[in-house]
A and B are shown apart, each in its own frame.
Chain A
Amino acid sequence: MTVYAPRHVDIWPWTNQKSVTGAVTRVNNTGYLGLGRLLWTNGAGARAGYWDVALDAGTWTLTLIYQKANNMNSMDWVLNGNSLGNIDQYNATTVNNSVSQITGVIVASPGVYELGFTRPSGIDYLNLQLITLTRTGA
């Protein structure tokens, strides 16, 4: 039997999540692509966010749209617990609608995966406006 799984996934992170660690708030602003973002508020403890996604096998690109600012920390992205890379949200000046990508994400078999990030410790904020997963190759 042919198994089908999506090859393009958009996630509005502020709608809901599988799970989060740390305090989060939904922020609406007319200057954001998508008009909203999910903000992990400033805290010294661990923070994280997870979403379940159905993915086909192949090579994928993870695209994140978010706000950079001088009070932002960095995210360690994982897929089923395997490290994908780090996205640093710090910038000396605030820049809404910043775009960062992690390319070459290998998905060995189609199925449901847990996508997320961790920030084990450290102060400052984290945020996300949109998460997009795009399959770029076999």
Chain B
Amino acid sequence: MDLPRRVEIVPWGFWKAINFTPVRLQGSSYLGGGAIGADDNADQKYIEWEVLLDSGTWAIDIIYLKQANGAITDIKIDGSLVGSIDHYNASTSGNNVTTISGISIGTPGYKILRLITNSKNASSTSYRHYVHFITLRRTGA
């Protein structure tokens, strides 16, 4: 069986593991019509999926919600930090996109993609972390 080179995750569907009480937000203005996150306003909250990736160079596109009480979320693959997103914005705005590129996958196989809150913007009042959609794309050998 050939390995995927594009993986799309509907984050509000379901997950492999989670350590917070999930809230599914529904919104007609959200890309994908929803978001998953938490209102428990605590740091070090994670959600993860097990994805099958070919070896090579990959990019992750994360579409997410920004709020005045947003956290900073680290993106990890098998425990290695590949980038971060800042959920803070003075006014609420959906469909923000951050692309983390140049991610090297040395060996093909199953990887754990984890999003974990890790601190917050100095202007933020809390640690909310809603995500609309995640795409992983293989960009090179």
Question: Whole-angstrom distance between the alpha carbons of A54 and B4 in the complex?
Answer: 11
- Confirm or deny: A47 has a beta carbon within 8 angstroms of a beta carbon on chain B: no
Given contacts A34-B10, A54-B1, A65-B13, contact A7 B52 (CB under 8 A): yes
- The stretch of A17-25, A72-80, A84-92, A128-136 in contact with B is A128-136
Question: Whole-angstrom distance between the alpha carbons of A3 and B24 in the complex?
Answer: 34
- Rounded to whole Å, the gap between the CB of B71 and the closest CB of chain A is 22
Question: Are A8 and B33 closer than 8 Å at their CB atoms?
Answer: no
Question: Whole-angstrom distance between the alpha carbons of A84 and B15 in the complex?
Answer: 20
For B33, list chain A residues within 8 Å (CB). 30, 32-36
- Rounded to whole Å, the gap between the CB of B56 and the closest CB of chain A is 14
- Confirm or deny: B50 has a beta carbon within 8 angstroms of a beta carbon on chain A: yes
- A54: nearest chain-B partner, CB-CB: B1
B29-71 vs A, CB cutoff 8 Å, 1 = contact: the mask equals 0001110000000000000011110000000000000000000
Given contacts A10-B13, A132-B13, contact A5 B26 (CB under 8 A): no
Question: Whole-angstrom distance between the alpha carbons of A96 and B34 in the complex?
Answer: 12
Question: Are B24 and A33 closer than 8 Å at their CB atoms?
Answer: yes
B16: contacting residue among A3, A8, A36, A54, CB under 8 A = A8
Given A33-B26, A63-B13, 9 new contacts (CB under 8 A): A7-B51, A7-B52, A10-B13, A32-B26, A32-B33, A34-B32, A35-B33, A61-B14, A132-B14
Name 24 A/B residue pairs within 8 A (Cβ), A-sorted.
Answer: A2-B109, A4-B3, A4-B110, A7-B51, A7-B52, A8-B9, A8-B16, A10-B9, A10-B13, A31-B26, A32-B26, A33-B12, A34-B33, A35-B28, A35-B33, A36-B33, A61-B14, A63-B14, A101-B14, A132-B14, A134-B15, A134-B50, A135-B50, A136-B16
